[in-house]
Structure 1
Amino acid sequence: MSSHNALPGFRLSLGYTLTWLSLIVLIPLSAVFVKTMELSFEQFWAIVTTPRVVASYQLTFGASLAAATINAVFGLLLAWCLVRYSFPGKKIVDSLIDLPFALPTAVAGIALTALWAGNGWVGSIVESQFGIKVAFTPWGVLLALVFIGLPFVVRTVQPVLEDLDFELEEAASSLGANRWQTIRRVIFPTLLPALLTGFALAFARAVGEYGSVIFIAGNMPMVSEITPLMIITKLEQYDYRGATAIATVMLIVSFVMLITINSLQAWTAKRNGKIK
């Protein structure tokens, strides 16, 4: 029996795909490596290991991992509430989750700064009651990254929860499983691949975030300066090779971390019988 496909033949489709992928992704990324190769290894190492740049790595990747972890926890809880419960204003909450997608990042940064600054509505209370300064500190960077990354987790986990058969939970309960056992052995293994995907997307989004962070971070060298800002600073100084050297480090580290997360996701799916 011959199979019919609405799309053109395999070779033509693959050719279009590879051409488009090359123009959008591969060629720009290759240009970064080509520009960096103009530097000797000693020059490259000297640029990417300066204390100011290393401090920006630590803040960028550390805050991105922390924000993705926070979003994985609270994004799962939020998706659970939206799928399993009915409450007044549910549709409004569901719509607000997509706000970081539509809102310009600069607007988000200004809004967060206005709220969490020392004289802002929320920041003044937190600073006076708890002695914690959020705006213009690493805490502000973390807050901005949590804000822009939350929708990725919720929208990845939500469809899986909607397709999860409630009868599985009833079967587990009828066999004597308590709530914690049902969550740990029935629900969580099913959600874990989607949760890891949302985590990876939130992390990738946070690593490259710029617009919403620069307003609330304060951009203090060695304290609240993110790596994308270091790249912009190098470009403004016409130090293109220095900018591409830092960008290369970010690219390599991000790629390794995403490959690790995706490998863990594939292993989890295979272990749970999603992949034969």
Structure 2
Amino acid sequence: MPTGADVIREAIPHHGSSTRSARRQRWHVLPGFRLSLGITLLYLLLMVLLPLLAVVLKAGSLGWEHFWQAATSERVVASYRLSFGMAMAAALLNAVFGVLLAWVLVRYPFPGKRVVDALMDLPFALPTAVAGIALTALYARNGWMGQWLEPLGLKVAFQPLGVFVALVFVGLPFVVRTVQPVLQALDAAQEEAAASLGARRWQAFRHVILPGLLPAILTGLALAFARGVGEYGSVIFIAGNLPMVSEIAPLLIISKLEQYDYAGATAIAVVMLSLSLIMLLLINGLQGWLVRRQGAPA
């Protein structure tokens, strides 16, 4: 009759055999790497690559001379400058104040904290047209803010500054929600150790906290920039859409589509796509360099 030790010995596999079986087969939550990879690549092809390829091919039907003329006219170049310039300026401002808001939400308890935290997601859920109308009503000449700002010579509505304000509004949550979880994961003991060694507050932030936050800040900046470049609904109401002054590139694309100039619209779209891709690659490259630098041994 087998003893209890024999039963246990039979139930537990030998260490060598378990190690060999683990080497032969690894357990995955989603089985079938090839099937999962194939479905992923097919979805990426259908949802992302094919539409972008269609835009490029449609613009290519113009020929180089007509494409260059449609994509680089004076009015179109002014719209590029406004769209990309204001998108980057708004993203940089959001990178500063987004970190500050995330810091307050993570490190300080205060009354109404949950309400403030929920309000951060409002630009995500709010329809862009509603945001544009609200900002216009606020900053117009007879608006709550505009009636006080305009006598001081500060015009917001129907000016490039209005575009900037709208892009700051829609882009702020991207930075806050990207930095917030990283800030929550940072160990406060490192800050206490820096303080115990005599570091001042700015020195502790510069050398202890900021290096860990920089990749997340750059990710939020890239997301806010990408959203700002393609933003349409919240901008057209407050911008005024004056040619060469406050006209954004997406509005020019819509105008050409309404005129059945599909090739001209795709020419502008290809230029915007190329510039956006270059900017995002630069930001992601900087982010990767920071991660590699932090992971490198001292």
Query: What interval of TM-score do these two structures reach, taking the shorter chain for normalisation?
Result: over 0.9
1:194-225 Cα deviation digits (max 9, x unpaired): 00000000000000000000000000000000
AA matched with 1:43: H
Aligned to 1:123: 146
Superposition pairs of residues 22-171 of structure 1, within 5 angstroms: 22-128=45-151, 130-171=152-193
Q: Is residue 2:198 matched to residue 1:176? A: yes
1:247 to 265, 269, 292: 269
Structure 1 consecutive aligned stretches of length 4 or more whose deviation exceeds 3 Å = none
Q: Distance in 2 between matches of 1:274 and 1:78?
A: 30
Q: What's the offset of the Cα at 1:8? A: 3.0
State the identity %. Answer: 68
Q: Aligned to 1:83, what secondary structure does the other structure show?
A: helix
Unaligned runs of 5+ in 1: none
Q: Aligned to 1:121, what secondary structure does the other structure show?
A: coil
Q: Distance in 2 between matches of 1:29 and 1:8?
A: 31
Q: Distance in 2 between matches of 1:62 and 1:87?
A: 36
Q: What's the offset of the Cα at 1:69? A: 0.3
Unaligned runs of 5+ in 2: 1-21
Q: CA RMSD in A?
A: 1.1
1:204 to 218, 223, 226: 226
Q: What's the offset of the Cα at 1:6? A: 2.1
AA matched with 2:165: L
Q: What's the offset of the Cα at 1:274? A: 8.2
Aligned to 2:208: 186
TM-score (norm 2): 0.90
Q: Is residue 2:43 matched to residue 1:20? A: yes
Larger Rg: 2
Q: Distance in 2 between matches of 1:237 and 1:253?
A: 25
Q: Distance in 2 between matches of 1:116 and 1:36?
A: 38
Number of aligned residue pairs: 274
Q: Distance in 1 between matches of 2:265 and 2:255?
A: 8
Q: What's the offset of the Cα at 1:18? A: 0.8
Q: Distance in 1 between matches of 2:201 and 2:29?
A: 47
AA matched with 1:18: L
Q: Distance in 1 between matches of 2:29 and 2:88?
A: 42
Aligned to 2:279: 257
Q: Aligned to 2:295, what secondary structure does the other structure show?
A: coil
AA matched with 2:259: Q
AA matched with 2:78: A
Q: Distance in 2 between matches of 1:229 and 1:112?
A: 18
2:242 to 220, 239, 259: 220
Q: Distance in 2 between matches of 1:185 and 1:124?
A: 44
Q: What's the offset of the Cα at 1:237? A: 0.5
Q: Distance in 2 between matches of 1:117 and 1:27?
A: 42
